[in-house]
């Protein structure tokens, strides 16, 4: 009886604390082998967290550009709470994972995130998530000028977190529709060329749900097998990452199986305040992730409450 009472008190205290804690996505970087993680099914590297300069913005959805020189280039979503939408930004860090520079790359005045990078013929093609615009577009990254140049629209569909992989001489484009308040539906498209045109899979949507559906980073290839990082949003958005092994992928078939879970080891001192993870990408032996940081800040929580209330009123009056 006493244990039950203590448990109830702990839960009540946690609920109160949770209301005073501000949640912010931040980027993490580490030296680790993605092949080793896949083979051992273990994820517990020493992560260096790169925090935004304030609680007025967050960093999420990091993707790595191929290494050129010693510095590491990370393309990511920079979300400013004031503007209430994400922009694409470029972060430069040195080999000790110290931040050198941060530069805004693309602001369309509409939400951008998840800047998928595909390198082909020494060119870097970027496919940002821009579901609010109702389409998926492609940009080319210019490494000399450090800028994104618009190339073309790929699909007139509001896909979330598109991932592309070349498999058996075709390009396969996977993305979801829906949201975390209902469910996600996974759609697949294929083409002979990276920039299309793309044809829809025979059985779209091929899967649906809140765990193991929405992409969480580039496809991982190990020993001839391909693995798809996905978000686990079953209980909370971006709670952890589910890695699926793709067993069959063709114009008329798609089968994938759950392979392993990736979550944050909260016992590690370096992961203090980090509670969840929802993106993972790698280049060589460098891995980038994002984690949800909890900071005790009633002031920022109150500001968030006012923003959410304002949004709710707008929806009711529209």
Does pLDDT of 9 surpass 60? Answer: no
Query: In the chain, what are the domain boundaries?
Result: 24-317
Does pLDDT of 201 surpass 70? Answer: yes
Distance CA 176, CA 161 (A): 7
Place 194 in a pLDDT band, splitting at 50, 70 and 90: very high
Q: How far is residue 180 CA from its own chain's centroid?
A: 14
Radius of gyration of the chain (CA): 20
What mean pLDDT, rounded, does the chain reach? 92
The structure's pTM equals: 0.92
Does pLDDT of 171 surpass 90? Answer: yes
Does pLDDT of 84 surpass 70? Answer: yes
Place 12 in a pLDDT band, splitting at 50, 70 and 90: low
Contacts for 205 with CB less than 8 Å, ≥ 6 apart: 177, 185, 186, 187
Q: Summarize pLDDT for 101-132 with one digit per residue, the tens.
A: 999 999 999 999 999 999 999 999 999 999 99
Of 163 and 15, the structure prediction assigns the larger pLDDT to 163
pLDDT of res. 1: 53
Does pLDDT of 297 surpass 90? Answer: no
Domain 24-317, architecture per CATH: 5 Propeller (2.115)
Does pLDDT of 312 surpass 80? Answer: no
Torsion sign over Cα 267, 271, 273, 277: negative
Distance CA 128, CA 87 (A): 10
């Amino acid at each position: 009886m006493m244990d039950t009472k203590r448990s109830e008190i702990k839960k009540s205290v946690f609920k109160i604390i949770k209301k005073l804690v501000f949640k912010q996505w931040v980027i993490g970087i580490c030296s680790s082998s993605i092949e080793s993680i896949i083979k051992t099914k273990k994820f517990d590297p020493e992560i260096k967290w790169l925090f935004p300069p304030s609680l007025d913005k967050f960093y999420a959805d990091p993707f790595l550009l191929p290494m050129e020189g010693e510095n590491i280039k990370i393309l990511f979503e920079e979300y400013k709470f004031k503007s209430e939408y994400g922009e694409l930004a470029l972060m430069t860090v040195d080999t000790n994972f110290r931040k050198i520079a941060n530069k805004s790359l693309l602001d369309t005045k509409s939400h951008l995130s998840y800047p998928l990078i595909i390198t082909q013929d020494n060119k870097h093609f970027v496919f940002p998530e821009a579901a609010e615009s109702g389409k998926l577009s492609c940009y080319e990254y210019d490494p000399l000028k450090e800028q994104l140049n618009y190339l073309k629209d790929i699909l007139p569909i509001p896909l979330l977190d598109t991932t592309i992989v070349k498999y058996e001489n075709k390009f396969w484009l996977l993305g979801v529709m829906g949201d975390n308040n209902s469910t996600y539906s996974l759609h697949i498209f294929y083409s002979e060329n990276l920039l299309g045109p793309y044809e829809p899979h025979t059985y779209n949507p091929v899967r649906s749900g809140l765990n193991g559906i929405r992409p969480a980073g580039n496809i991982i290839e190990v020993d001839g097998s391909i693995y798809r990082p996905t978000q686990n949003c079953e209980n909370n958005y971006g709670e952890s990452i589910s890695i699926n092994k793709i067993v069959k992928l063709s114009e008329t078939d798609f089968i994938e199986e759950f392979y392993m879970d990736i979550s944050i080891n909260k016992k590690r001192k370096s992961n203090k305040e980090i509670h969840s993870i929802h993106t993972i990408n790698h280049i060589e032996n460098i891995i980038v992730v994002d984690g949800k940081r909890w900071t005790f800040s009633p002031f920022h929580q109150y500001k968030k409450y006012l923003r959410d209330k304002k949004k709710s009123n707008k929806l009711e009056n529209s």
